[in-house]
Amino acid sequence: MSAAQSTTPPHETQPSGTQPVRLMGVQARAAARVLRSLPTARKVSALHAIAAGLRANAPAILTANAQDVQAAIEAGLPEPMVARLRLDARMLDGIAADVEAVSRLPDPVGETTPAQTQPSGIRVSTRRVPLGVLGVIYESRPNVTVDVAALALMSGNAVILRGGKETVRSNAALEAVIHAALRAQGLPADGVQVIRDPARERMLELLKLDDLVDAIIPRGGAGLHRYCVENATVPVIVGGIGVVHVYLDPSFTRDPGDRARAAAIIRNAKVQKPSACNALDTLLIHQDALDALPDIARDLQAHGVTLRTDPPAHAALSAAGITTDPATDADYGTEFLALTASVKTVPSFEDALDFIAARGNHTDVILTRDEAQAGRFIEDVDSAAVVVNASPRFNDGGQLGLGAEVAISTQKLHARGPMGLRELTTTKWVVEGNGEVRG
């Protein structure tokens, strides 16, 4: 059967029996041994087969997804979560296109540094290799299932996926397509496995598989990350959570064109995808730029944004006839993931830096025409991404040239920022000799 042919009828994508998570780990480890040494051309062929399978099996996938969406609505899930869950034909074709985009990325596996000959005579180099077996835990978005599978396969890794209970049918349908594509290419289907049992106990079992799984990557809210860190014996790569700040300096408000640019950047930062981890949470505005705030606030409110403002910003907006909610201390340092933003007035650039230092670690933006100030911001702000005069929504693997991402890491060990193919690899030392022994 070709990968593009229909694989699994809709009724077979319902959750059925589940394999023990430990057995999945054993199977993934065996698959990883095959995947780690695959030539780039075979990995590319596998991804093209997956993309073709997604398009050919769109009716079955969308039927399964519709069942998930209906169940989510009946369960009373919040509308933003239902929206993240929902697929349509256009979105599914876009997911397939994303898989093809990953196949066109440079393959980092096998990159080798020039060999250096040591005084002993040995030749030493390093070679880039896959991490091995990944465990990825996420919520709601079925596109993550395919994105992560594509990145894992292209980087030579096996992956065990654990989506939220609201995506069980969708993920089962996607897994069936991926398995059919891999088998058609003569590759182990166990290179991509989905835990279908939504019980938290299965997630805990995955977190404890330190003899079989090399890294856990959670994608979700702070609660999920905290649970993984506190319960895992497998190393956890933490990311995807954090407060996003945009600091507006007076130098970016003096020209009418810049005022319009500032409003457009701030609108995009908050409105384009408010549930994303790189969406604006807190607007920091210099006290000398408050006269630009009314136009920004009107623009945001016209797009349904609720603003929570400190006294200076509240007074400036009230004078312009704009009503906002008073901010509390809890509104600063909060990741809203919704059409809500806080506004904080700062008396100086230094105060903005101090504010971000106390609360930032994900994506932070400065809007300024002062080049020295921009340079200081880049040097001083210790976040996964710093942005000058553009939207924080660009802190994304696809936008930064990685093709796609598994997650955005906000920690500092191994990987930081969007995690693409290279971030799913590590290095090993290669030592070559001719009978040398250590004296």
Listed in sequence order, the residues at least 6 apart from 140 whose beta carbon sits closer than 8 Å to its beta carbon are 81, 84, 85, 163, 164, 166, 167
Assess contact for 118 and 124: CB atoms under 8 A: yes
For the domain made up of 243-394, give the CATH fold. Answer: Aldehyde Dehydrogenase; Chain A, domain 2 (3.40.309)
pLDDT of residue 208: 97
Domain segments of the chain: what residues? 19-237+419-431, 243-394
List helix spans (H) across 241-370: 256-271, 293-302, 311-319, 349-359
Confidence of residue 1 (pLDDT cuts 50, 70, 90): very low
Q: What average pLDDT does the structure give for the chain?
A: 91
Residue 31 tokens, joined:
């698959």
77-92, pLDDT tens digit by residue? 988 789 889 999 999 9
What beta strand segments (E) does 360-411 contain?
Answer: 360-367, 385-388, 408-409
pLDDT of residue 18: 61
pLDDT at 12 over 50: no
Separation of alpha carbons 66 and 170, rounded Å: 8
Closest CA to 363 of 290, 270, 263: 270
Determine how many CB atoms are found less than 10 A away from the CB of residue 390.
15
Determine how many CB atoms are found less than 10 A away from the CB of residue 4.
19
pLDDT at 9 over 50: no
Residue 296 backbone phi and psi in degrees, to 5? -65, -45
Give how far the C-alpha of residue 296 lies from the chain's centroid of Cα atoms, to the nearest Å.
28
pLDDT at 4 over 50: no
Separation of alpha carbons 84 and 216, rounded Å: 22
Sole residue written with tokens 């395919």: 146
Assess contact for 49 and 3: CB atoms under 8 A: yes
Instruction: Provide the percentage of residues in the chain whose pLDDT is more than 90.
Output: 79
Please tell me the class of the 19-237+419-431 domain: alpha beta
158-183, pLDDT tens digit by residue? 999 999 899 999 999 999 999 999 99
pLDDT of residue 314: 97
What is the mean predicted confidence (pLDDT) over 387-395?
95
Confidence of residue 5 (pLDDT cuts 50, 70, 90): very low
What strands, in cross-sheet order, belong to the sheet with 133-138?
A: 192-194, 158-162, 133-138, 215-219
16-33, pLDDT tens digit by residue? 336 899 999 999 999 999
pLDDT at 3 over 70: no
pLDDT of residue 401: 76
Higher pLDDT residue, 219 or 175?
175
pLDDT of residue 240: 61
Separation of alpha carbons 266 and 258, rounded Å: 12
Q: State the sign of the Cα–Cα–Cα–Cα dihedral 417, 421, 424, 430.
A: negative
pLDDT of residue 399: 84
Separation of alpha carbons 395 and 387, rounded Å: 9
Residue 138 backbone phi and psi in degrees, to 5? -150, 175
43-55, pLDDT tens digit by residue? 999 999 999 999 9
Confidence of residue 15 (pLDDT cuts 50, 70, 90): very low
**Segment among 3-17, 377-391, 408-422 with least mean pLDDT:** 3-17
At 15 the three-state DSSP class reads coil
pLDDT at 201 over 60: yes
Per the confidence metrics, is the pTM higher than 0.85?
A: no
pLDDT of residue 410: 77
